[in-house]
């Protein structure tokens, strides 16, 4: 019988929970330590490419994922001023081509699916990690409340400001991209009624719709089986902003930032009342994720721009591969983590860099053609 490992995961977000689910399915013991006082996700949408959906299905979550997510028909790019169609990428043949659909999800819904799939008493809240260490026999995480957790492995899934990353590789600062966004979620019927009776408004029910300007973007797509509409609008700016999903803003600040944009966009933004702004940060790719019995996962390892819609997807891939590698070499966890790094670092870094390049291309006039995502979507971590 294979050895059962004890895994300490720092961070209870999508990456930490996905890793916990993947490891538990293989019989390992998992502890999740989360700094927040309650476990949950902010109200925002995310997109899941077929590469991510394949991994979620393999984690036994297909019925819940299909029930709560949407499968948009197309990715449509429109001109910010007149609504002219600039580019259409169909999604409807995604299952045939890649083995899984392209989905959109409410971030809180996906987080809830994963949270319900792990053992609830394995989650420990109010645990702010200060440092980690590793030796020949175990790995140790220390917390601000004085608690100490020991296991065979420690995994840092603690986000872009990861304490685990800082312990391993030293302190550095994320790169501010001078892009600032506003987000909200609306009932679909309310949003469509506000946007008016025209062909472009109808597309918001079934598509991922991106309105592009050299000054920024607006993005709309369905959530929760089409009941909700995710609303995002972002602009390039010289002003400084803090990295957070939950910085309060005002309705006037948001609307004024998009003066002169297409009326459909402004009518949709006009319906959003609980307004938050979100500053975009990323980091340079790391050359190493692993030190001894400690490694990184998700945004702790590869925070990226959302322009390829792969932040969550690459993180979910990480989780699946981590569990597979540890299960393959339970007698040598340090070697298992190096195998995990060897499989994941190159791919994650490539997506990280390509997302930044796409972000930079989006501002160019004329805009270069969008990057092909086939190489991302066709990847299948479950087939290795």
Residues annotated as part of the active site: 221
Measure the CA–CA gap between 144 and 228, rounded to whole angstroms: 39
Query: What is the H or E stretch that residue 282 is in?
Result: strand 276-282
User: Are the C-beta atoms of 172 and 163 separated by less than 8 Å?
Assistant: no
Tokens of 254: 């948001």
C-alpha distance from residue 47 to each of 225, 245, 309 (Å): 14, 17, 6
Which residues are 133's β-sheet partners?
140
CA dihedral 324, 327, 329, 332 (to 10 degrees): 110
Neighbours of 48 (CB within 10 A): 24
In 3D space, the residue among 312, 321, 310, 298 whose CA is nearest the CA of residue 373 turns out to be 310
Please give the radius of gyration of the chain, using alpha carbons only, rounded to the nearest integer.
Answer: 21
User: Are the C-beta atoms of 45 and 185 separated by less than 8 Å?
Assistant: yes
């Amino acid at each position: 019988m294979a050895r059962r490992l004890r895994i300490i995961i720092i961070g209870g977000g999508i990456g930490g929970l996905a890793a916990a689910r993947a490891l538990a399915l293989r019989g390992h013991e998992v502890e999740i330590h989360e700094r927040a006082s309650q476990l949950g996700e902010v109200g925002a949408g995310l997109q899941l490419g077929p590469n991510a959906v394949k991994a979620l299905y393999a984690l036994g979550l297909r019925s819940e994922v299909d029930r709560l997510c949407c499968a948009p028909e197309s990715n449509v790019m429109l001109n910010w001023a007149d609504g002219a169609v600039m580019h259409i990428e169909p999604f409807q043949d995604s299952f045939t081509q890649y083995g899984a659909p392209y989905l959109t999800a409410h971030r809180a819904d996906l987080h809830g699916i994963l949270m319900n799939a792990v053992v609830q008493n394995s989650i420990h809240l109010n645990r702010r990690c200060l440092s980690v260490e590793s030796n020949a026999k175990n790995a140790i995480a220390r917390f601000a409340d004085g608690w100490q957790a020991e296991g065979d492995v420690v995994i840092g899934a603690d986000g872009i400001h990861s304490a685990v990353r800082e312990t391993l590789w030293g302190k550095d600062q994320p790169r501010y991209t001078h892009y600032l966004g506003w987000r909200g979620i609306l009932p679909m019927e309310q949003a469509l009624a506000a946007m008016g009776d025209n062909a472009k408004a109808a597309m918001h029910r079934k598509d991922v719709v991106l309105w592009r300007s050299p000054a920024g973007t607006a993005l709309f797509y369905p959530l929760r089986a089409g009941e909700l509409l995710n609303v995002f609008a972002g602009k390039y700016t010289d002003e400084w902003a803090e990295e957070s999903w939950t910085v309060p803003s005002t309705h006037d600040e948001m609307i004024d930032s998009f003066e002169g944009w297409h009326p459909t966009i402004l009518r949709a933004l006009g319906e959003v009342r609980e307004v938050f702004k979100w500053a975009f940060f990323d980091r340079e790719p790391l050359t190493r994720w692993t030190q001894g019995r400690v490694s990184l996962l998700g945004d702790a390892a590869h925070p990226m721009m959302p322009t390829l819609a792969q932040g969550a997807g690459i993180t979910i891939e990480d989780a699946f591969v981590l569990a597979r590698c540890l299960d393959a070499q339970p007698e040598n966890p340090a070697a298992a983590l190096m195998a995990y790094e060897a499989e994941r670092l190159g791919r994650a870094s490539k997506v990280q860099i390509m997302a930044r390049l796409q972000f930079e291309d989006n501002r160019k006039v004329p805009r270069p053609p969008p990057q092909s995502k086939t190489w991302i979507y066709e990847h299948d971590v479950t087939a290795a």
